[in-house]
Amino acid sequence: MSRTRLARWATPLLSVLIVLGIAAPAAAATFEQKVAVVTSFTQDSLSSYNSWLSARNNQGAWADYDLDWSTDLCSSSPDNPLGFDFKLSCARHDFGYRNNKRLGIFTSTVKARVDLAFYNDLKRKCATYNWAVRPACYSLAWTYYEAVKNFGSLAAVSQADLDKAAKMKADALAKTSSRAQR
């Protein structure tokens, strides 16, 4: 097919598609739509977490919402304390703070919701570990939650907090090891 013949067919076809809205560029989401999406992605539930994670893994599909996906993970606190992987929980927490602030809707109520979602994300992660080390993980989850709840940042997590959880984990592993040897 020659270029002129192709152009003769393509131009009217493209015009019809644009008029029908099939090939039109997507419009930016409204403020209300952005608020609804950010709110739904920062609820305190597993389904909210899973929706956020799916969107995070397919950010292009959400480009019209102009979401802030940036993260510093767990800030200055370890992302993987004692081998417990808190990265995704911290990333969703950053998402909640950054996008609610960006939309101008970051109130004390929103902060409390995002912080509680963070805590429950951490606890769900802890539940995936061996029963013997879960108490140490839950202890760290509580420490991380208290830091963001009270100070708005994980920078408040101290080395003493990490040492306490490390001792709990070591003691639990020692107990399970000695039981296995009997």
- Candidate list 34, 92, 93, 134, residue with the active-site label: 93
> Could you confirm whether 93 is annotated as catalytic?
yes
Residue 165 near residue 95, CB atoms below 8 Å: no
Handedness of CA 54, 55, 58, 61 (dihedral sign): positive
Q: Could you tell me what percentage of the chain is helix, strand and coil, using 3-state DSSP and rounding each to the nearest 5?
A: 70, 0, 30
Q: How far apart are alpha carbons 69 and 30 in whole angstroms?
A: 18
Helix (H, G, I), strand (E, B) or coil at 129: coil
Residue 29 parent element (H or E): none
Show which residues are catalytic. Answer: 93
